[in-house]
């Protein structure tokens, strides 16, 4: 029984599941898996807390991957080696677009690759895009749950440095402020830290991937975390409904 080194699970332990929901916070894993039938923990190693449950008797995985691109890349690569081929990220984000309000939900159709990990995989010109199947499944799930008034689809920003959202903490504050203005002027919806990595690696590997994020802070105002729980339950509900449509 060969276990993957970081996630510490084997194909047998995950019952050859093809479906994975990822989040950053290990504490969020039980809240997600509670919506599955017979959820149980199969591993908790480093930042990777792995639960298994069932939808319509199909095994579904839920795993935390920590914060940011490197740990996300490691996690999904190892799950992919075990046969996982459909991944949805459910997480949190900071608002960039004035159209997005606190607690709104954002489905990422594509991501700005403002991180370093994916550049070790492929040239910067390569796009980071979600899979159409997952985009449509998330959209249908939102409609099913009557959350259309709080839902957005579009481009998100993925970064490495969380506190780069506070230009005053950056040596070249003027440049930092101008960079955020560029993303806002380009109609970028939110900023987060994992979608670009998930999308690039998934496309290269031939997997289906998407992401839905709750807006919990306002990057432009400098209030990076206003309400860390705002919209999280709804984002989880949408993710579960979307997985049902992808089975």
Mean pLDDT of 36-64: 98
- The band of 225, judged by pLDDT with boundaries at 50, 70 and 90, is confident
Range scoring the smallest mean pLDDT among 11-20, 181-190, 208-217, 227-236: 227-236
| pLDDT of 221 | 79
* Measured distance CA(222)–CA(209) in Å, rounded: 30
Q: In which element (H, E) is residue 72 found?
A: helix 69-81
| pLDDT of 219 | 83
Range scoring the smallest mean pLDDT among 53-57, 148-152, 219-223: 219-223
| pLDDT of 1 | 61
Share of the chain above pLDDT 70, in %: 100
| pLDDT of 229 | 85
| Residue 198, helix vs strand vs coil | helix
* Measured distance CA(36)–CA(208) in Å, rounded: 21
Top-confidence residue, 228 or 75: 75
| pLDDT of 228 | 83
| pLDDT of 235 | 98
- What structural domains does the chain harbor? 19-246 (3.40.50.1580)
- Closest by CA to 55, choosing from 147, 153, 137, 132, is 137
| Residue 173, helix vs strand vs coil | helix
């Amino acid at each position: 029984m060969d276990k993957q080194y970081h996630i510490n699970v084997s194909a047998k332990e995950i019952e050859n599941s093809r479906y994975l929901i990822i989040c950053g916070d290990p504490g969020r894993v039980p809240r997600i898996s509670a919506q599955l039938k017979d959820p149980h923990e199969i591993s908790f190693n480093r930042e990777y807390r792995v639960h298994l449950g069932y939808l319509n008797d199909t095994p579904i995985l839920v795993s935390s991957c920590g914060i940011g691109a490197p740990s996300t890349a490691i996690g999904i690569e190892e799950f992919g080696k075990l046969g996982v081929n459909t991944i949805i990220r459910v997480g949190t984000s900071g608002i960039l677009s004035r159209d997005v309000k606190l607690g709104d939900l954002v489905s990422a159709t594509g991501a700005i690759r403002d991180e370093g990990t994916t550049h070790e995989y492929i040239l910067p010109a390569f796009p980071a895009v979600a899979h159409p199947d997952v985009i449509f499944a998330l959209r249908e799930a939102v409609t099913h749950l009557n959350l259309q008034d709080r839902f957005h689809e579009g481009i998100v920003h993925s970064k490495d440095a969380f506190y780069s959202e506070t230009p005053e903490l950056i040596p070249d504050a003027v440049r930092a402020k101008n960079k955020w203005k560029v993303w806002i002027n380009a109609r970028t919806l939110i900023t987060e830290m994992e979608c670009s990595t998930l999308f690039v690696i998934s496309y290269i590997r031939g997997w289906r991937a998407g992401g839905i994020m709750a807006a919990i802070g306002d990057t432009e105002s400098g209030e990076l975390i206003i309400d860390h729980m705002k919209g999280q339950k709804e984002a989880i509900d949408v993710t579960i409904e979307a997985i049902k449509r992808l089975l």
